Amino acid sequence: MRSWFKLFISMVLVVLGPQVGKAQQGDALPEEAPVQERSALEYTLNFSTVYAAQWAVYLVTQEDTIRDHGSWDNFFHYPFHPGFDKDSFDYNLFKHAWSGQYYYLFYRYRGYSEVEAFTWTFLSSLAFEFAVETYTEKPSIQDIYQTPIYGTLVGMGFERLSAYFRSSESIFVRALGVVLNPFTLLPQYDLAAMPVIKDETVGVSVLWRY
Protein backbone atom coordinates (compact mmCIF):
# COMPACT_ATOMS: atom_id res chain seq x y z
CA MET A 1 0.00 0.00 0.00
CA ARG A 2 2.76 2.43 0.93
CA SER A 3 4.77 1.79 -2.26
CA TRP A 4 1.60 2.23 -4.34
CA PHE A 5 0.88 5.48 -2.52
CA LYS A 6 4.41 6.80 -3.11
CA LEU A 7 4.04 6.04 -6.82
CA PHE A 8 0.69 7.84 -6.90
CA ILE A 9 2.10 10.94 -5.18
CA SER A 10 5.08 10.99 -7.56
CA MET A 11 2.71 10.95 -10.54
CA VAL A 12 0.64 13.76 -9.04
CA LEU A 13 3.71 15.91 -8.50
CA VAL A 14 4.99 15.33 -12.04
CA VAL A 15 1.68 15.92 -13.81
CA LEU A 16 0.00 18.53 -11.60
CA GLY A 17 2.86 20.14 -9.72
CA PRO A 18 3.13 23.20 -12.00
CA GLN A 19 -0.62 23.82 -11.64
CA VAL A 20 -0.57 24.29 -7.88
CA GLY A 21 -1.71 27.88 -7.80
CA LYS A 22 -1.38 31.51 -8.77
CA ALA A 23 -0.33 34.09 -6.26
CA GLN A 24 -1.42 37.68 -6.44
CA GLN A 25 0.85 40.44 -7.73
CA GLY A 26 3.39 41.65 -5.17
CA ASP A 27 1.92 41.80 -1.69
CA ALA A 28 -1.68 42.19 -2.91
CA LEU A 29 -4.26 40.56 -0.67
CA PRO A 30 -6.44 37.75 -2.10
CA GLU A 31 -9.67 39.72 -1.91
CA GLU A 32 -8.03 42.66 -3.71
CA ALA A 33 -6.99 40.61 -6.74
CA PRO A 34 -9.03 41.21 -9.91
CA VAL A 35 -11.20 38.35 -11.09
CA GLN A 36 -9.70 37.03 -14.32
CA GLU A 37 -11.13 35.22 -17.28
CA ARG A 38 -9.73 31.74 -17.74
CA SER A 39 -9.83 29.00 -20.33
CA ALA A 40 -11.57 25.64 -20.06
CA LEU A 41 -8.12 24.09 -19.69
CA GLU A 42 -7.33 26.22 -16.66
CA TYR A 43 -10.67 25.36 -15.05
CA THR A 44 -9.85 21.69 -15.65
CA LEU A 45 -6.34 21.97 -14.24
CA ASN A 46 -7.51 23.77 -11.10
CA PHE A 47 -10.26 21.23 -10.49
CA SER A 48 -7.85 18.36 -11.17
CA THR A 49 -5.38 19.77 -8.66
CA VAL A 50 -8.01 19.72 -5.92
CA TYR A 51 -9.14 16.24 -6.95
CA ALA A 52 -5.58 14.90 -6.83
CA ALA A 53 -5.08 16.48 -3.40
CA GLN A 54 -8.30 14.84 -2.20
CA TRP A 55 -7.01 11.41 -3.21
CA ALA A 56 -3.64 12.08 -1.59
CA VAL A 57 -5.15 13.13 1.75
CA TYR A 58 -7.67 10.28 1.61
CA LEU A 59 -4.99 7.65 1.03
CA VAL A 60 -2.84 9.01 3.86
CA THR A 61 -5.58 9.46 6.47
CA GLN A 62 -7.80 6.47 5.66
CA GLU A 63 -5.24 3.74 5.07
CA ASP A 64 -6.77 1.31 7.57
CA THR A 65 -10.32 1.90 6.31
CA ILE A 66 -9.20 1.44 2.72
CA ARG A 67 -7.46 -1.80 3.58
CA ASP A 68 -10.43 -3.19 5.53
CA HIS A 69 -13.38 -1.93 3.49
CA GLY A 70 -12.15 -0.54 0.18
CA SER A 71 -12.81 -2.05 -3.24
CA TRP A 72 -13.33 -0.94 -6.83
CA ASP A 73 -16.73 -2.62 -6.73
CA ASN A 74 -17.70 -0.09 -4.07
CA PHE A 75 -16.18 2.73 -6.09
CA PHE A 76 -18.45 2.08 -9.08
CA HIS A 77 -21.53 0.83 -7.16
CA TYR A 78 -21.86 3.24 -4.24
CA PRO A 79 -22.30 6.47 -6.30
CA PHE A 80 -25.79 5.24 -7.20
CA HIS A 81 -26.77 4.73 -3.55
CA PRO A 82 -26.18 7.93 -1.55
CA GLY A 83 -27.59 8.15 1.96
CA PHE A 84 -27.45 10.01 5.25
CA ASP A 85 -24.36 9.09 7.27
CA LYS A 86 -24.50 8.49 11.02
CA ASP A 87 -21.64 10.78 11.99
CA SER A 88 -22.35 13.21 14.83
CA PHE A 89 -23.44 16.73 13.92
CA ASP A 90 -20.35 18.38 15.41
CA TYR A 91 -18.08 15.93 13.57
CA ASN A 92 -19.76 16.73 10.27
CA LEU A 93 -19.78 20.42 11.06
CA PHE A 94 -16.10 20.87 11.95
CA LYS A 95 -14.52 18.21 9.75
CA HIS A 96 -16.26 19.25 6.57
CA ALA A 97 -16.06 22.97 7.25
CA TRP A 98 -12.31 22.53 7.68
CA SER A 99 -11.98 20.60 4.42
CA GLY A 100 -14.29 22.88 2.47
CA GLN A 101 -12.49 26.06 3.46
CA TYR A 102 -9.30 24.75 1.80
CA TYR A 103 -11.22 24.18 -1.43
CA TYR A 104 -12.61 27.68 -1.23
CA LEU A 105 -9.29 29.35 -0.40
CA PHE A 106 -7.55 27.51 -3.23
CA TYR A 107 -10.07 28.70 -5.82
CA ARG A 108 -9.94 32.23 -4.44
CA TYR A 109 -6.17 32.10 -4.66
CA ARG A 110 -6.52 31.16 -8.31
CA GLY A 111 -8.44 34.38 -8.92
CA TYR A 112 -12.03 33.10 -8.75
CA SER A 113 -14.76 35.42 -7.50
CA GLU A 114 -16.47 34.49 -4.25
CA VAL A 115 -19.44 33.07 -6.15
CA GLU A 116 -17.17 31.09 -8.49
CA ALA A 117 -15.12 29.82 -5.56
CA PHE A 118 -18.28 28.61 -3.82
CA THR A 119 -19.49 26.93 -7.02
CA TRP A 120 -16.24 25.06 -7.56
CA THR A 121 -16.02 24.19 -3.87
CA PHE A 122 -19.42 22.55 -4.29
CA LEU A 123 -18.23 20.68 -7.40
CA SER A 124 -15.08 19.54 -5.60
CA SER A 125 -17.19 18.32 -2.70
CA LEU A 126 -19.29 16.30 -5.15
CA ALA A 127 -16.12 14.85 -6.68
CA PHE A 128 -14.91 13.67 -3.28
CA GLU A 129 -18.23 12.17 -2.27
CA PHE A 130 -18.93 10.41 -5.59
CA ALA A 131 -15.47 9.73 -7.01
CA VAL A 132 -13.07 9.31 -4.06
CA GLU A 133 -14.74 8.26 -0.82
CA THR A 134 -17.00 5.76 -2.61
CA TYR A 135 -14.02 3.43 -2.57
CA THR A 136 -15.01 2.66 1.03
CA GLU A 137 -18.46 4.11 1.69
CA LYS A 138 -21.61 5.52 0.14
CA PRO A 139 -21.85 9.26 -0.63
CA SER A 140 -23.16 11.22 2.32
CA ILE A 141 -26.12 13.48 1.58
CA GLN A 142 -25.26 15.80 4.49
CA ASP A 143 -21.65 16.14 3.37
CA ILE A 144 -22.67 17.13 -0.16
CA TYR A 145 -24.06 20.44 1.09
CA GLN A 146 -22.32 20.86 4.45
CA THR A 147 -18.81 20.85 3.02
CA PRO A 148 -19.28 23.67 0.48
CA ILE A 149 -21.61 25.81 2.62
CA TYR A 150 -19.74 25.61 5.91
CA GLY A 151 -16.40 25.55 4.12
CA THR A 152 -17.18 28.70 2.17
CA LEU A 153 -18.30 30.54 5.30
CA VAL A 154 -15.14 29.57 7.18
CA GLY A 155 -13.00 30.28 4.11
CA MET A 156 -14.43 33.76 3.71
CA GLY A 157 -13.69 34.52 7.35
CA PHE A 158 -10.16 33.09 7.22
CA GLU A 159 -9.41 34.96 4.00
CA ARG A 160 -10.31 38.28 5.57
CA LEU A 161 -8.55 37.56 8.87
CA SER A 162 -5.47 36.41 6.98
CA ALA A 163 -5.39 39.61 4.94
CA TYR A 164 -5.77 41.70 8.10
CA PHE A 165 -3.07 39.85 10.01
CA ARG A 166 -0.62 39.92 7.11
CA SER A 167 -0.84 43.71 7.00
CA SER A 168 0.52 43.87 10.56
CA GLU A 169 4.04 45.05 11.37
CA SER A 170 4.49 42.14 13.77
CA ILE A 171 6.17 39.11 12.21
CA PHE A 172 4.24 36.80 14.55
CA VAL A 173 0.88 38.27 13.54
CA ARG A 174 1.84 38.04 9.85
CA ALA A 175 2.82 34.40 10.39
CA LEU A 176 -0.63 33.75 11.85
CA GLY A 177 -2.12 35.28 8.71
CA VAL A 178 -0.19 32.79 6.60
CA VAL A 179 -1.34 29.90 8.79
CA LEU A 180 -4.96 30.95 8.24
CA ASN A 181 -4.45 31.05 4.47
CA PRO A 182 -1.37 28.99 3.48
CA PHE A 183 -2.07 29.52 -0.24
CA THR A 184 -0.53 32.96 0.10
CA LEU A 185 2.85 31.19 0.12
CA LEU A 186 2.44 29.66 -3.34
CA PRO A 187 4.34 31.10 -6.32
CA GLN A 188 2.76 32.95 -9.19
CA TYR A 189 2.44 31.61 -12.69
CA ASP A 190 0.42 32.20 -15.84
CA LEU A 191 -0.65 29.28 -18.00
CA ALA A 192 -1.97 29.46 -21.54
CA ALA A 193 -2.64 26.73 -24.08
CA MET A 194 -3.38 26.89 -27.81
CA PRO A 195 -4.19 24.06 -30.24
CA VAL A 196 -1.68 23.55 -33.05
CA ILE A 197 -2.84 22.00 -36.33
CA LYS A 198 -0.25 21.57 -39.04
CA ASP A 199 -0.57 19.20 -41.99
CA GLU A 200 -1.54 15.88 -40.37
CA THR A 201 -0.17 16.80 -36.95
CA VAL A 202 -2.40 17.91 -34.09
CA GLY A 203 -1.01 19.12 -30.80
CA VAL A 204 -1.16 21.71 -28.03
CA SER A 205 1.24 24.58 -27.43
CA VAL A 206 1.56 25.42 -23.73
CA LEU A 207 3.04 28.65 -22.32
CA TRP A 208 4.05 28.76 -18.68
CA ARG A 209 5.18 32.15 -17.35
CA TYR A 210 6.11 32.95 -13.77
**Half-sphere exposure in the Cβ direction for 154 (13 Å, CA):** 20
Q: What is the pLDDT along the chain (210 residues), one digit of tens a residue?
A: 444 444 444 443 433 333 333 333 334 444 444 556 778 898 999 999 999 999 999 999 999 999 999 999 999 999 999 998 887 777 778 888 999 999 999 999 999 999 999 999 999 999 999 999 999 999 999 899 999 999 999 999 999 999 999 999 999 999 999 999 999 988 655 555 455 555 555 454 555 554
Taking the whole predicted model, whether its pTM rises above 0.75 is answered as no
Domains of the chain, residue spans = 2-209
